[in-house]
Amino acid sequence: MDAITPEINAALPSDGTIDPSDHPTAPILPVSTDDTSPSACNNSWPYFLEHAAVDFFAGYKLEKMTIEDGGGNKAKFSRTKDQNIKIEFTSSVLL
C-alpha cells in the first residue's frame, strides 16, 4: 500500500468531512451511533445490506455490485429491467 504523502494529506479536509458537491449523486452516509445502527442490531448483515449498501448502490446509480465481509457473508446487487434493486445474499452463522 502506498503511503499518504504530505501533498495528499494537505489536500484532505482537516475536519474529516467530504464536500457533497464533489459527488452530487452520492449520498453521504453518516456514522450512526443510535439504536438503529448495524452494531446495535447485532451486526445484522441483512440490515446493513438493506440500508447502507442499498443507499450506496442507488446513490452511485450502479448496475451491479458484489460485497463480501470476509466472514462468510456475501451479497450481489443488480438492477432489474424495471430499475428495481435485486439483492441476493448468503450469511454465515457460528453457533
State the sign of the Cα–Cα–Cα–Cα dihedral 49, 67, 30, 43: positive
Please give the Cα distance from 20 to 67 (Å, whole number): 24
Band of the pLDDT at 1, cuts 50, 70, 90? very low
Q: 0.75 exceeded by the pTM?
A: no
Q: What is the pLDDT of residues 51-67, one digit of tens each?
A: 999 999 999 999 999 99
Query: What order of strands is seen across the sheet that includes strand 74-79?
Result: 64-68, 74-79, 85-90
Q: What is the pLDDT of residue 32?
A: 47
pLDDT of residue 71: 86
- Supply the DSSP symbol for 16: S
More confident residue, 20 or 89: 89
* pLDDT of res. 76: 97
The per-residue pLDDT for 8 is 54
Write out the three cell numbers for 43.
Answer: 451486526
Confidence of residue 25 (pLDDT cuts 50, 70, 90): low
Whose CA is closest to 89, among 49, 53, 59, 41? 49
Classify residue 52 by its DSSP letter.
Answer: I
